[in-house]
A = this chain, B = another copy of it.
Amino acid sequence: MNIGKIIGTAVATRKDETLLGCKLMITQPLTMDYKEIGEPVIAVDTVGAGIGEVVIYTKGTAARNAARKRESAIDMAIVGIVDNIDLYD
């Protein structure tokens, strides 16, 4: 899994029916010391995460599992809200 920050939302009226009711969150990948890295992606929220929160997101089948929509068009999902990242030298 990776961590990211929720920086926005995507709105798409015409979309696959399995995405109906899904919150499409724009998620900016972060390094483990909270720096931005790479390009934002769209991940479906499954834990009630909000704008600005640092989250854990997952890919592929794991994302559909988390959304409880195994036959869906989802390939990325937010599966946790980070309390803290403890790094040890």
Contact = CB atoms under 8 A, between A and B. Distances in A.
A77 B84 contact: no
Q: Determine how many copies of this chain the complex contains.
A: 5
| Interface size, A (range) | 35 or more
Contact of A73 (B10, B16, B65): B65
A75 B87 contact: no
27 contacts: A1-B73, A1-B74, A1-B75, A3-B42, A7-B32, A8-B86, A10-B82, A10-B86, A11-B82, A11-B84, A13-B81, A13-B83, A14-B81, A15-B47, A15-B56, A15-B79, A16-B47, A18-B65, A18-B66, A19-B79, A31-B40, A32-B39, A60-B62, A62-B64, A62-B73, A65-B71, A73-B77
Given A10-B82, A10-B86, 15 more contacts: A1-B73, A1-B74, A3-B42, A7-B32, A11-B84, A12-B80, A12-B83, A15-B81, A16-B80, A59-B75, A61-B61, A61-B64, A62-B63, A62-B72, A65-B72
